[in-house]
Structure formats: C-alpha cells, structure tokens
Amino acid sequence: DHISDLPVFVQMLHLADRLEPLRIYLPEEAVKPVKKYLNACYLFDEKLSFRLEMKPIKNSVKIMNQKVLVKPVANHHLVSNTEIIEASGYPNRMESYSFLIQGGDKKILYSADLATLEEIENYLDDLDLLLIETTHVDIDRLPPLIRERRIKKTVLSHFSDSKQRRIREFIDSRGGAMNIIAAEDNLTIKI
C-alpha cells in the first residue's frame, strides 16, 4: 500500500539510461492498477529505455540467478479495511506481504507493515537480520523474541517523526546488548 515513489523511481532509471529489464513483484490485485498508474504518469512501456515487468507475487520467487530465494509471507496488515471494502463494493483483496530472504547461509526477514507480530513468528528463528516496522506492532515485545529466536541484528523502521524519541529511548535502553538499531537514510548493514 506504499507505492507513491514508484513513478519517480522508474523515471530516474529511465533518465539514467538503464537498459537491463526491471522486474517488480507486487500483489496480484495491484498489477493492473499500478500499470495504469504508471501510464497516467506518462511512463509508457514504449517510452522507457528498459523493459519493465510487473509480476504477481506467488508462493516463492527465485531471483538473482537462483542464488537468492525470496519467500512472500502473507500478513493481515490491510484486513482492517474489510468493512469499508465490503460496504463500498471495492475489488480490493487486502493482499499484504512480509518477505523471508535467503541466500547462501544468510537469512533476512523484512516485515513490511503487519497487523500483529504473530504473523511472522514462524520465520524468526536464527535470522541474520530482522528489518521490522514499528508503527503497527508493540516494540516492547521484541526483546524476548530476539533473544529466544537468536536473531543476530534487528533494524527498526517505519516510524513517524513523533515516534523517533520513543524509538531512540527503546534502543538506548535495550539496543546495544541486543544489536538493535534504527533505520536511517543510507544505512548499510553487513551480515
């Protein structure tokens, strides 16, 4: 449900004369509307310097010459919209995903937006990196999970300016010992 910068991203790739195809995976219900959105922004396939492929998310997606496996993990982040969708007859299917990424002996979980932490609990064991949003979950529940599931590094993301102080206090009180940090622009993490 966060795609507002996609046209800018596509345009910048075009202006940089990208030639290599770009494959974007998204919920099946979004493929046609996003394509229409890009067309409304005058980012037509015929105009781009590269081939843009939009693919619906399936059970698992292999990328990077089969060296990396990206497994979508369905979550219920958008289910809170059920009443509006049903009452208004919208076609939305409330498809939302977290992603388990595995390559070599490394394992990362990107939570994306969640409804609850329980949605990803089955995927937390022995992660090298957990990138987790903080807007929709109780971060005070993270330390026991990080310890019990042996998560090596955790990056907290998706927090508002008003929540930055709370995130900083949380990290200052628990982060060092548990290797928890806040996401920031240009952050690079070695795993």
Mapping DSSP onto H, E and C, the string for the chain reads: CCCCCHHHHHHHHHHCCCCCCEEEEECHHHHHHHHHHHHHCCCCHHHCCCCEEEEECCCCEEECCCCEEEEEEEECHHHHHHHHHHHHCCCCCCCEEEEEEEECCEEEEECCCCCCHHHHHHHCCCCCEEEEECCCCCHHHHHHHHHHCCCCCEEEECCCHHHHHHHHHHHHHHHHHHCEEECCCCCCCCC
pLDDT reported for residue 121: 92
| In the block, residue with structure tokens 């790739």 | 13
Reported confidence tier of residue 186, pLDDT bands at 50, 70, 90: very high
Of 49-53, 120-124, 145-149, 176-180, give the lowest mean pLDDT range: 176-180
| Amino acid (one-letter) located at 146 | I
Cα–Cα–Cα angle for 1, 29, 82, rounded to 5 degrees: 65
pLDDT reported for residue 173: 84
pLDDT reported for residue 168: 85
Structural domains of the chain, ranges and CATH numbers in brackets: 1-56 (no CATH), 58-191 (3.60.15.10)
pLDDT tens digit string along 124-173? 999 999 999 988 888 888 999 999 999 999 999 988 777 888 888 888 88
pLDDT reported for residue 158: 85
Distances (CA, A) of 57 to 44, 70, 146, 152: 22, 10, 28, 28
